Structure 1
């Protein structure tokens, strides 16, 4: 009888792949064995394969991601009759850990049914439930998760050991008799009764609850109750940043306009927050000044049960003080969130690592924050990088994330946040250790941002020094360019692209500050072709917080100083102008983000101070009319001058049309320059990247202007600084002399 050895690589452990193989083999009358090992799943099988190998890929379990199925003829002397699942081979890190996954339909039916898991908040199986957030060590088994303290009861043990059961080797398996428990407490005292019912009643009464989820605590309140939402804002010191919402699928149409693409994104196993146009059904205080709402479906049985009992839409925002990372421990929650929450919906399953909710946009598709449900999955590297040496990339200061590459794959960590925050820094260090362990990673080079004072850059320099490996500093916008190329699997020798890179700030050569750039380049290098005409950042970092500073210098440059004086009478304009003239703590910057701030300030959108990053630009995007003037911005010696936009203000153009003009004119100006590079044969395609392309208006308008060109965009890797580390890693590999 012909025998075969089949190797399956990818996300194939902890997803029910072995019982899936067992069932396929049983149905085909094959004999042999299947096991997990360091490289994935290994199958030794005898008999007529037929479509067996194809079915391994085509019919794989929902959470599986099959990268390769390798089939080779073999001779085995020990294959007994039948087909068996056998003990795992040696531990290793060549396969990947599965991300957390939202409750599957079968488990949801169970908690709403009449069986032993009716109403049980920790129901899961191999197709859903916690993974990364409970993992404490490799290999992934119960003893190395935060489920270790919960001994399985006989009924759960029987399911766990039955290959025909969907809970076969589901490490978080539990039931009310043996698993985690849920309770509600207030003032440190557990309240007797059914926790979900009491929690729902308190939410209906206008209270704010701290709810323990998969990757941390949320703060929840009734989204229809404006007084409760305002109270949450006051307690959390979050005056204007939009709150995320959680709603059942049947309640979505009442609050947002749901496209087919948005519904598909909502239903993804990652259960991300999805940005969708609001219908105006909720109080303005939920998302002041912005047209989109961020909504997620319930992701765990606990959330499903809570939403069912509550019967409406909840604000579900991170349980933290604004700017700080999400709280994950029970004791930490009591200490930190007692000032915010009236009561706590708690459980006793520990969270191994904090993971924020992922955030995506469906139209056009893009990941804005890569976190719960999306990590620690890997992404393939482009052709030409198959033999790349292992590299660690440390990312940037804002929206921090790290990236490791090995064996033709990249592991991009979860969104970590702002590294100036102490707890975020701790999470960054844990992510560095986590990823190294998960990938069995020993870097031969370390890549960092060109800015030497970024905390991530200092960490990378220390790591490189301790390891005795090269440290490679990568210019910020070159890293954005490379990240876009990498996501699109642009070959290492695929030629140069015209990259429009629009974002807030990034250090350029010779201490310049960039942010509105057209680059011609590839993984190895770049040339700066065009840029926004630079303007001083008065007060340095203060210019990121106070939009009037950017408006002042842009109006002055456009010959509209009198208008600036009228618009900002309370601002210290004379002092600001002196600082700009003397270039004291006022570096020149080509930042597109600061240009958006400037126009927003002129239109009265949070002119004196932003309460959160991107507030002015988000409000400006929402204000923009559906049509308006499109200006030809002059480009002289590579510098694109936005002055005509400010002349519109002086001419008394309507604010919504000015907002439209900014988006459309900026898109046209950069697209025209990029198209020239394509037409001249210097570039093969156009790449759109940088945080400003999270703005759906400018992303859509730029693509429209380049409709006849090949366009590369970012969908699964954030175009903002959350994707920076991937680009750094690819640039570092391309620059290594040994490669």
Structure 2
């Protein structure tokens, strides 16, 4: 008898509910190996026995050929005595012990399921809830772990004989696919009127008819309700915008396939890769000038958020409809997305004319993810469906479990243990009770799923953030206060598996500083544990406080008053447009009454955009800066001069840039040219500031973070200048540079300080 060996193998990562056990069963059977495979609280355990060369081949193949949704983080093995057994089995799941199982995100419908759905001979032909181990709902339906059907919202559906046979067959693609179902035993579609009464007829056909007639329909998706309208129908989209109270912020558009995306936007190889990624995010793309979308879809924008259909229901509906559809979050502005059926009818009844719903409950609401293309890769804007709750593996350990409570806008939270950080789905702007409740419910859910009891709670310095107040109310934990911009840089470090120290450039809207001013244009010397403020944008008053965010002409007034030493030229259009209130607003700034001082780069962008005539008031966060970026002439290479002032920390005189831009406009220069010159100037400020700090610190790695670096024009030009000067540049690739990444940074800081004792 030839020599046999036996190994006990442990596989950790996202390896449950993704077809890993049947993959192992098939691999072992093909190689003629004996043993068993099973799930437990840590992942997958395997015992494998056979000829040494075959066992070695088996082990090497585990990570290389894993199923599509599996994320293998670690494979360990140890030899044990061979038993001489024959055959390979799938063992019963083991329970007990601390849960370390990782849950897969919800994933787009796979090609195999789409083929079955399109096959008239298949029993799931035209079925809106077809799924298998390689696709379908995961995070949004799981209530507890282990990830087994009784612990999901599918527990209310008893499998028919055919589905049960697939579910229990290790050779079947649906082996232990927890959401498995068919028309005989699974959820069904229903179309309701706005009062909740059932509409007769085929739900898909009737929904398509209503949409073609210009109606707005609420559609229940994976993580909540969307509001749908025909993208080319201006009356429908305008009605949706009016009812939703969303004045200007662009809507996303769903198309059935890549060809549909190409008809609307420029789609290069990188964009195609992002559009077709299994997470199916919304991808921000430059739209064709004659794209067939209503003006109200993305008013004043050269960009369009496009996503491909990602559920069977979306595929079936778009085929019936035959044209692209607006698909935007089912909520009124500033509220969380509706996901409970009765609540959706109540909250969306004044917006939607009908509801396309179904019987599969959603346990955890989850918005769509959003990305931009940058240098052939993705720049996350919102990390949510398709990514959460995938952990972010880090390069260091957390000595104790951590909860990081995040910031306020674009809120996320993060729980962390071992070498895993679990950043939550997008919660929204944490400014009202509904969003706060969504935050607290999410924290409780993550703690249960990942069996984490925080011993350290990290929070922002701002005392009025609801997330800070939540943290301060926790008992029996160590609190760690993390400055907002340090958290931004720490987030970028963690995103890149780096510990620092680095030169950190954090440009955003506002963040509370230790000196009680509002920071936002910061150069830091930082590692994960601490930072030094090494430079910043010179502070200016914000006349009216928060009103200066909503009305950026107030920032223009403050900057112009400083730039021209109180003698602002009256021929500037922004002065004429706001003449009635100009003197009062500038007086507020001069006296410092209701005018907190800020070094915010976001407010500088607002000011210059307003002076150039982009807009005096905004309807969503960052609107003026977004439109200012789009206006820039990409061919313009000129830049305004801006000398850094002082030492340790140096200051960037933003008023000099404002005066240069204003003088350019007064001389008749086109706003597109002014925008480009301003962007180029800020890129040079970044490069020159970092060069100065390299001379004193010896550091040559730069981390760029903060919401301003969502601006790909600025990001590209700043990165290029830094690289020309020999810097290594760290950018965000896994979490957003905006406040959606703050919670990861807070957690990383808390862990680093814990490691230092």
TM range (shorter): over 0.9
Which residue in 1 is equivalent to 2:392?
A: 379
* Matched-pair contact (CA < 8 Å) for 1:445–1:471: yes
Bigger mean CA offset, 428-437 vs 670-679: 670-679
Structure 1 counterpart of 2:515, from 506, 510, 534: 510
Contact 2:559 2:607 in 1 (8 A): yes
What is the aligned counterpart of 1:404 among 415, 419, 423?
Answer: 415
Return the offset for 1:571: 4.7
Give the distance between the partners of 2:526 and 2:698, measured in 1 at CA.
10
Measure, in 2, the Cα distance between the counterparts of 1:264 and 1:160.
32
Q: Give the match for residue 35 of structure 1.
A: 38
Separation in 1, partners of 2:263, 2:755: 58
Q: CA deviation at 1:626?
A: 1.4
Distance 1:476 1:387, change over 3 A: closer
Partner residue of 2:229? Answer: 221
Is 1:639 the counterpart of 2:651 in the alignment? yes
**CA shift for structure 1 position 573:** 1.6
- Asked if residue 673 in structure 1 is aligned to residue 702 in structure 2, the reply is no
Which of residues 238, 262, 271 is equivalent to 2:246? 238
Equivalent runs, 1:557-706 vs 2, <5 Å: 557-559=562-564, 561-563=568-570, 566-607=575-616, 609-628=617-636, 629-637=638-646, 638-642=650-654, 643=656, 644-680=660-696, 682-706=698-722
- 2:303 is the counterpart of 1:297: no
Q: Which residue of 1 aligns with 2:328?
A: 317
Given that 2:703 and 2:729 are in contact with CA atoms closer than 8 Å, whether structure 1 keeps it comes out as: yes
Q: How much has 1:602 moved relative to structure 2?
A: 1.2
User: Map of 1:58-69 to 2, 5 A cutoff?
Assistant: 58-69=64-75
2:538 paired with 1:533: yes
Task: Give CA-to-partner distance per residue, 1:438-461, whole Å, 9 cap, x none.
Answer: 221122211100112211011111
Q: How is 1:135-154 mapped onto 2 (pairs within 5 angstroms)?
A: 135-154=142-161
User: Could you list the per-position Cα deviations for residues 158-187 of structure 1 after superposition, in whole angstroms to 9, with x for gaps in the alignment?
Assistant: 000000001000000010000000021224
Distance 2:99 2:608 in 1: 50
Matched residue SS, 1:123: coil
Q: For 1:665 and 1:95, how far apart are their aligned partners in 2?
A: 49
Give 1:130 shift: 0.3
Distance 1:253 1:424 in 2: 36
Task: Tell me: CA distance 1:570–1:351, structure 2 relative to 1, closer, same or farther (3 Å).
Answer: farther
Q: 2: CA distance between counterparts of 1:497 and 1:268?
A: 32
Taking structure 1 as the reference length, the TM-score comes to 0.97
What is residue 548 of structure 1 aligned with on the other side? 553
> Which residue of the partner structure matches residue 255 of structure 1?
264
Shift of 1:543: 1.1
Q: Return the alpha-carbon distance in structure 2 between the equivalents of residues 152 and 530 of structure 1.
A: 63
Post-superposition Cα deviations, 1:63-116, rounded to whole Å, max 9, x if no partner, equal: 000001111111365x74211111011154212111000000001111111211
Mean Cα displacement is larger for which, 289-298 or 646-655?
A: 646-655
Structure 1 residue aligned with 2:99: 93
Structure 1 unpaired stretches of 5+: none
Match of 2:279 in 1: 270
- Look up the SS of the partner of 2:305 in the other structure: strand
In structure 2, distance between residues paired with 1:351 and 1:661: 49
CA contact (8 A) 1:645 1:662 kept: yes
Q: Is the 8 A contact 1:35 1:86 kept in 2?
A: yes
Displacement after TM superposition at 1:655 (Å): 0.6
CA distance in 1, matches of 2:579, 2:234: 32
Q: Structure 1 residues 679, 95: CA separation in 2 closer, same or farther (over 3 Å shift)?
A: farther
Taking the aligned partners of 2:708 and 2:68, their CA distance within structure 1 comes to 34
Query: What's the C-alpha RMSD, in Å, of the aligned pairs?
Result: 1.5
Q: How does 1:294-373 map to 2 (within 5 A)?
A: 294-364=305-375, 365-373=378-386
Residue-by-residue CA offset, 1:592-612 (whole Å, 9 max, x unaligned):
1111111111122221x2111
Question: Is 1:717–2:735 an aligned residue pair?
Answer: yes
Query: How many equivalent residue pairs?
Result: 729
Q: 1: CA distance between counterparts of 2:393 and 2:731?
A: 17
Greater shift in the superposed pair: 153-162 or 643-652:
643-652
Picking from 209, 213, 218, the partner of 1:201 is 209
Indicate the SS of the match to 1:9.
strand
Select the residue among 746, 752, 756 that pairs with 1:728.
Answer: 746
Note the C-alpha offset of 1:652: 2.8
Shift of 1:207: 1.1
Secondary structure at the aligned position of 2:73 is classed as strand
1:454 aligns with 2:470: no
- The alignment partner of 1:134 has SS state of coil
How far 1:651 moved relative to its partner? Answer: 2.9
Deviations 1:323-351 (A, max 9, x none): 11111111111111111111111101111
SS at match of 1:177: coil
